[in-house]
């Protein structure tokens, strides 16, 4: 190689290196410019998320006695305590409708379509619920049972659009506590009852109550 051509190669290599560096800088600056404002929020998503706790009413799946243990938890009697020898297991005939209950559960108000007891309660294992396909479900997982018919509500629930909640909208900053279906709806009479509202505003212009 001559001295001149060597010089040329040197120049070409230098120009190439400079070009690559410039290109990298350019691409980087474009990338940072086009980064949307959402990036921060999405970053938050990638962080460790706090949990969403679904609370079921204390003592669910037991007969409530009104008593409390030392920790303040309600003391309930397991359904199987009586149902071991009553209903499907015992010699007493199985009762399927609330209006036929004359001996026990007589205060039960039932307004939930044409369902019968064993639509939801497992006829053999009274400490469990059952799905329409016969699968046993624990009382704590009652939402699975409700969702069989109330799919629209369950879908809304899954997206935070049904059911009361407390806590954080941003799970990267704190947890959230949600009610389960039976926290608000009485499964035997699920329609939301009428109630008296909180007092109206005492505004000077709104004292013309109809």
Partner 1 sequence: MSQDQGEPNIGGITRRTAIKALGATLGAAAFARAMVPLQSLTKEISVDEFLQKHYREMTPEELEKVLRRLEKETLENYGAEVDIVDARPIPGVEYGYALNLSVCVGCRKCAEACHKENNHDRTTNNSYIRVLEMEQGSMDMERGNASYNHPVPAPGKFYMPVQCQQCANPPCVDVCPVQATWKEDDGIVVVDYNWCIGCRYCEAACPYHARRFNWKRPEIPAEEVNPVQAYLANRIRPKGVVEKCHFCLHRTREGKHPACLEACPTGARVFGNLLDPKSDIRWVLENKRVYILKEELGTQPRFFYYFD
CA-based angle 195:145:128, to the nearest 5?
A: 105
201 binds partner 1 (CB under 8 A): yes
Q: How many angstroms separate the Cα of 33 from the Cα of each of 21, 23, 36, 97, 168?
A: 19, 15, 8, 68, 31
Q: Which is nearer to partner 1, 168 or 188 (CB)?
A: 168
172 binds partner 1 (CB under 8 A): yes
C-beta atoms surrounding 145 within 10 Å: 22
53 binds partner 1 (CB under 8 A): no
Among residues 78, 132, 160, 189, the one that binds partner 1 under rule CB under 8 A = 160
Q: Which is nearer to partner 1, 72 or 201 (CB)?
A: 201
68 binds partner 1 (CB under 8 A): no
Q: Which is nearer to partner 1, 73 or 156 (CB)?
A: 156
**Beta pairing partners, 52:** 176
Q: Which two tokens stand for residue 127?
A: 């400490």
DSSP, collapsed to helix, strand or coil, labels residue 140 as: helix
Shortest distance (Å) from residue 199 CB to partner 1: 6
Q: Which is nearer to partner 1, 52 or 63 (CB)?
A: 52
Q: Which two tokens stand for residue 150?
A: 């109330």
């Amino acid at each position: 190689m001559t001295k001149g051509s060597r010089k040329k190669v040197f120049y070409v290599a230098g120009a190439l290196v400079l070009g690559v560096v410039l290109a990298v800088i350019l691409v980087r600056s474009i990338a940072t410019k086009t980064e949307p404002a959402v990036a921060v929020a999405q970053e938050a998503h990638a962080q460790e998320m706090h949990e969403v706790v679904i609370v079921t009413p204390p003592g669910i799946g037991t007969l409530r006695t009104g008593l409390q243990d030392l920790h303040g938890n309600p003391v309930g009697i397991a359904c199987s305590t009586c149902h071991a020898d009553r209903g499907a297991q015992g010699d007493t005939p199985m009762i399927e409708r609330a209006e036929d209950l004359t001996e026990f559960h007589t205060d039960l108000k039932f307004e939930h379509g044409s369902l019968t007891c064993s639509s939801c309660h497992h006829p053999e294992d009274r400490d469990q619920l059952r799905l329409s396909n016969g699968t046993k479900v624990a009382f704590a997982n009652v939402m699975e049972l409700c969702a069989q018919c109330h799919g629209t509500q369950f879908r809304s629930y899954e997206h935070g659009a049904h059911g009361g909640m407390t806590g954080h909208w941003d799970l990267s900053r704190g947890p959230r506590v949600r009610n389960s279906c039976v926290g608000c709806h009485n499964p035997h009479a699920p329609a939301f009852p009428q109630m008296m509202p909180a007092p109206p505003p005492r505004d000077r212009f709104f004292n013309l109550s109809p």
